[in-house]
Amino acid sequence: MEVHGTRFGTLRFMEDELITLDEGMLGFPNSKRYLMFPYADDSSFFWLQSVDEPEVAFIVINPFDFFAELEFLVEDTDTDAIGLDKGEDMEVFSLLTIPDGKPEEMRTNLAGPVVVNVRNRRGRQVVMREYSARQPLIPYEMRGAYREQTRGKRAVRQMVAVS
C-alpha cells in the first residue's frame, strides 16, 4: 500500500503496519489509520502520519521516556474499545507541540494520550483530566542549555551540508 503526502512524499507500507483509531483523534475524526515511524535515527520522537488524510501528521513521544513518575489509569471502557486485556500489550504516546523557532519551549499533551494495543494495533485517544495538555518537555531551568546545544548542532549540520 502507499500514501502520498506533501511532507514525506510517497510512503510504502504493509496493511499490518497501520495503527487504527476507530474514533480518530480529537479534532481529526476522519483520520482513523496511521503509520508510525521514527523522526530520525536514535530519536525519542516519532511521526504519527495519517493515511486517510496525508496532510495530517503529528510528532509523538513515549511520555514515560521523559516523565519517570508518570502514571496513567486507563478506563475499562477505553481498554475494552481496543481489545486490551493485558497492560504489557499497551503502548502510550503523547502528541508534541514545538513552537516555531523555540524548540526549547516544546510541550506534550499528557491530558490526551494515545493508547495502543500492540497485539491488534488498535488505538484510542483517551482523556486524562489530572494532567496538562501543555506539559513542558524541557524543564525551564534547562532551556538555556538546550538552546545553546541546539544552536551548535544546527551550525555543524549546515557546515556538513555545504561541504
Is 124 buried (19+), middle (13-18) or exposed (0-12) by CB count in 10 A?
A: buried
Domain count, the chain: 1
**Residue 92 within any structural domain of the chain:** yes
pLDDT tens digits, residue range 34-81? 999 999 888 899 999 999 999 999 999 999 999 989 999 999 999 999
Q: Which three cell numbers mark 3?
A: 500514501
pLDDT tens digits, residue range 116-134? 999 999 999 999 999 999 9
Extract long-range pairs of 127-135: CB within 8 Å, 24+ residues apart. 128/72, 133/109, 134/97, 134/107, 134/109, 135/67, 135/107, 135/108, 135/109, 135/110
Q: At 36, is the secondary structure helix, strand, or coil?
A: strand
**Residue 151 within any structural domain of the chain:** no
Residue 44 sits in a domain whose CATH number is: 2.30.290.10
Are the beta carbons of 8 and 50 closer than 8 angstroms? no
Range of the domain at 120: 2-138
pTM (predicted TM-score): 0.82
**Residue 119 within any structural domain of the chain:** yes
Share of the chain above pLDDT 90, in %: 69
**Residue 146 within any structural domain of the chain:** no
Short-list 9, 18, 24, CA closest to 37 = 18
pLDDT at site 155: 34
C-alpha span between 17 and 37 (Å, rounded): 10
pLDDT at site 42: 86
**Residue 150 within any structural domain of the chain:** no
